Structure 1
Amino acid sequence: MNLGRRERVRAATIMEITETARRLLVKDGPDAVSLRAIAREMGMTAPALYRYFPSHGDLLRHVVGALFNDLTDGLVDALAEVPDHNMYAKFDAACRAFRGWAHAHAKEYALLFATPVPGVGQAEQVDFAAECGRRFGMTFLNLFRDLWEKHPFPVPADDQIPAEVRDQLADYRERIQADLPLGCLLVFLQCWVRLHGAVSLEVFGHLDFALTDIEPFFELGVVEIAARLGLCPDPFADPPDG
């Protein structure tokens, strides 16, 4: 779609505001991302920014959305480099890309996964940040669905899942409109919790008490998660970079 001059200028300004907010976040933390500080960095007045973002919360949610898109684009690029038939390599690439982004953007990662913006991530939210967050989540879920369809792995039957968990999984499945067994969604969440927990503990320095080189420990965890999904590394494949 071709944008008119006014729309192009507005889009460019929103991008500049977002990039300025991200620089302030990285430099001084989330408390430094204020409309006044951004206006000062851009040579604008704070009231002028209200034409683009009506509140500080709206601005932060837009930054969160942009960060989710940046992270998701990295995952998509990493997955695209792996042949479709090699599901272990795809799973490994996604895990590595997630960890790599977290290390390269630790403060942005903290905003997304440690100190979320109020309202972001709630099921009823339909704003930019929530949509970008769902795009990130669906990248992993679509990989998981692809794996399930190509190489189904053992999952608990519905009657083996505690009722309190089963009902929540059913609600989750309806919200995301996923044609997957409840047991499959349970395994997906369990794998995600383990991956996310491992990366977060590492990035926030909570494994330093025991480990000085965490990468081999992380790789061991990826192999164990993959094994739960019936995936085994190809002994003839080239070792991954990074």
Structure 2
Amino acid sequence: MNLGRRERVRAATIMEITETARRLLVQEGSEAVTLRAIAREMGMTAPALYRYFPSHGQLLRHVVGDLFNDLTDALHSGLHAAPEHDMAAKFRAACREFRTWAHDHRREYALLFGTPLPGFGQEEQEDFASECGRRFGLTFLELFQELWAKLPFPVPADAEIDDDVREQLAAYRDRLGLDLPLGCILVFLQCWVRLHGAVSLEVFGHLDFALTDPEPFFELMLREVGERLGLDMTNPA
């Protein structure tokens, strides 16, 4: 679709605002990402920014969406580089890309997965950020579904799952519109918790008390999770 001059200028300004906010985040930390600081960097007035983002919270949500897209694109690049029919290679690629992006973008990762900024996340809304967040989540979920379809692995039966957990899993499955056993949903969440937890502990420095090089520890976790999913993890490449 061809945009008119006014729309092109507006789109370019929104992109510049987002890039400026991200640069401030990386260089100075989350506290520096204010409308006044962004306006100063761009040679604008803070009130002028309200023509593009009605609130500081909405600006941050746009930055979050941009970061989720950046991370998701990195995951897709890793997946596309792996052999199409080698599920173990695709699993390793996605998990390693997630860890690599987190280490290369620590402050961005903290904004996405750490403590939310003051006032951020208080409004539940369907917007750019939530759409991009779903795109990120679907990357791992679709990989998991592909694995389940091609190489089904053992999962607990519904009756083996505690009632309070089973009800939550069923509600989560319904929200996603999935046709998967509850035991499969449970294993998916357990695997995500291990991956996310391992990467977050590394990025936030909470393994420094024991490890000077956490990468081999991460690879050990990756092998254990892969084997839990029935993958052949004997080839570490």
Decide: shared fold, TM above 0.5. yes
Task: Tell me how far 1:234 sits from its aligned partner.
Answer: 5.3
Displacement of 1:116 in angstroms is 2.9
How far apart in 2 are the matches of 1:119 and 1:23?
A: 19
Q: Corresponding residue for 1:4?
A: 4
Could you report, residue by residue, the CA deviation over 1:46-100 in whole angstroms, capped at 9, with x for unpaired residues? 1110000000000011101100000000001110111221000000000000000
1:88–1:232 contact (8 Å) kept in structure 2? yes
Q: Which residue of 2 aligns with 1:71?
A: 71
Equivalent pair of 2:64/2:111 in contact (CA under 8 Å): yes
1:30 and 1:111 in contact (8 A); partners too: yes
* CA 1:120–1:91: 2 relative to 1, 3 Å: farther
The residue type equivalent to 1:109 in the other structure is Y
Alignment-derived partner of residue 101 in structure 2: 101
Q: Does 1:208 align with 2:208?
A: yes
Partner secondary structure for residue 116 of structure 1: coil
CA distance in 2, matches of 1:231, 1:182: 20
Task: For 1:50-61, list aligned pairs within 5 A.
Answer: 50-61=50-61
Normalised to the residue count of structure 1, the TM-score between the two structures is 0.94
Q: How many residues align?
A: 236
Q: Tell me which residue corresponds to 2:148.
A: 148
What is the aligned partner in structure 2 of residue 35 from structure 1? 35
For residues 107-159 of structure 1, give each alpha carbon's deviation from its aligned partner in whole angstroms, at most 9, with x where no partner exists: 0000100123556498x531111111111001000000000000000011111
User: How many angstroms apart in 2 are the aligned matches of 1:219 and 1:28?
Assistant: 32
Residue aligning to 1:92:
92
TM-score, normalised with respect to structure 2: 0.96
Residue segments in structure 1 that go unaligned for 5+ positions in a row: none
SS of equivalent residue, structure 2 residue 51 = coil
Distance between the aligned counterparts of 2:63 and 2:72, measured in 1?
Answer: 14
**CA distance in structure 1 between the partners assigned to 2:80 and 2:122 by the alignment:** 27
Ranges of 4+ aligned residues in structure 1 off by more than 2 Å: 116-122
* Amino acid in structure 2 at the alignment position of 1:226: G
Give the structure 2 partner of residue 224 of structure 1: 224
Gaps of 5+ in 2: none
Matches within 5 A, 1:120-135: 120=121, 125-135=125-135
Q: CA RMSD in A?
A: 1.5
**Percent identity over paired residues:** 74
